[in-house]
Chains A and B, each alone.
Chain A
């Protein structure tokens, strides 16, 4: 079983729509959680961190449920510029070090 699993989509939505992405992770020792955004043929870039209390950044809301090992991202009032691949990411720490583990990504296409 892959450590981080996401629905690959694609999600095709009109401008102004609300869309939600979900992600599950397998290792309960995971300690930090993120959503990254990746545009076509570009490198991944941090979109936002995810906290148990839930956090919001403008039109974006992220939520973490540690008990269910579940992470979500909600995008409200979708814009054309939101079209990208959204990567669910967990950061695992151990005695040796730390590394980001990525899901395969969910593709979003916003159309006018």
Chain B
């Protein structure tokens, strides 16, 4: 099993540009989570899906952030337009029925 796969590993972009982060969950897992980690705020839950359906997006900071899960094997987190304060490590995680969470290696985003 390849685990949760995130891409890209690193992203440097200019303020105002669109950023798309990608995640492939573990096959068979029915939950997918997007987290953001900063020194100041720690690991924050942004949004999660169950069987491809968004369940709770109350953690999404603002309308500039959107997430989709078009099928069981793929999810995206998009920021448009990006701002310097969006700089963080973004983690995707998947879970089988809410047990045994596995995290991807993360995407380190820098907005300049």
Binding site for B on A (CB under 8 A): 42-46, 87, 91, 93, 96-105
Beyond A96-B55, A99-B48, A100-B33, whether A45 also contacts B43 by CB under 8 A is no
Question: A43 and B33 in contact (CB under 8 A), knowing A97-B48, A99-B48, A100-B45?
Answer: no
Q: What DSSP secondary structure best describes chain B's contact surface?
A: strand
Docked pose: A87 CA to B91 CA in angstroms: 15
**Are the CB atoms of A43 and B104 closer together than 8 Å?**
yes
Least CB distance from A89 to B in Å reads 9
| Beta-carbon contact of A99 and B45 below 8 Å | yes
Listed by A's residue number, 19 A-B pairs whose Cβ atoms lie within 8 Å are A42-B105, A43-B103, A43-B104, A43-B106, A44-B43, A44-B91, A46-B100, A91-B98, A96-B50, A96-B55, A97-B48, A97-B56, A97-B98, A99-B48, A100-B45, A100-B93, A102-B43, A104-B43, A105-B42
Of A98, A102, A103, the residue contacting B98 (CB under 8 A) is: A98
Complex alpha-carbon distance, A99 and B47, angstroms: 9
- For A87, give the chain B residue with the smallest CB separation: B43
CA distance A42 to B6 in the complex (A): 13
Residues on A with beta carbons closer than 8 Å to the beta carbon of B103: 43-45
A97 to chain B, nearest CB (A): 4
- B42 and A93 contact, CB distance less than 8 A: no
B104 contacts A97, C-beta separation under 8 Å = no
Report Cα–Cα, A105/B27, bound state, in Å.
29
